[in-house]
Amino acid sequence: MTNIVLLVGNLGADPDLRSTNGGTDVASFSLGTSRPKRDSEGKTFKDASGFTAKETEWHRVTCFNGLGRIVAQYATKGQLVSVRGRIHNSKWTDREGIERYGYEVIADDVQFLGGRSGNRDDDPPEAGNDVD
C-alpha cells in the first residue's frame, strides 16, 4: 500500500522557512485547491456572474532541506504549483488538555507551473526530490 498525494493549486501566502535545532531547513506553505460547488442534488451551479461556483480547500504543505530552500526562495503567494508527496497525520494535546488532530502534506516534489506573481530575480531550478 502507498500513501501518495498529488495536488495542483495556488499558494495562499509566501512560504515560511525555518531551521530546526538539528540544522534541518523546513519550509511550509498553504495551498488552495478548488473544485466546482454542488447543490443538494449534486449538480454544479453558476454564481451571480454566470461562472461556475467554486469551493476552495486549504492544505498545509511542508518541504525539507534543499527542496524547502528552493520553495522558500522562489515560490510566492498566488503562484500555481503542483505538489507530490504523502499525507502525514499528527495527534497532540493542546494547552487546554484537548486532543487535537492535524494533517499535512510532506512534499517530495514541487513544480512551479504558471508565471511567478512575485518579483524574484532568478528562475527556479527544477525542484525535485534529488535536491538535498
For residue range 79-102, list pLDDT tens digits in order.
999 999 999 999 999 999 999 999
pLDDT in tens, 11-47: 999 999 999 999 999 999 999 999 998 888 888 888 8
Phi, psi of 62 (to 5 degrees): -125, 135
122 lies in a domain?
no
32 lies in a domain?
yes
58 lies in a domain?
yes
127 lies in a domain?
no
Beta strands in 65-116 (DSSP E): 80-93, 99-112
35 lies in a domain?
yes
119 lies in a domain?
no
| Burial status of residue 32 (CB atoms within 10 A of its CB: 0-12, 13-18, 19 or more) | middle
pLDDT of residue 130: 47
Q: Are 109 and 103 in contact (CB under 8 A)?
A: no
Query: What's the domain range around 98?
Result: 5-112
Split at pLDDT 50, 70, 90, the class of 119 is: very low
72 lies in a domain?
yes
Q: Are 126 and 112 in contact (CB under 8 A)?
A: no
pTM of model > 0.75: yes
* CATH code of 65's domain: 2.40.50.140
Number of domains the chain contains: 1
117 lies in a domain?
no
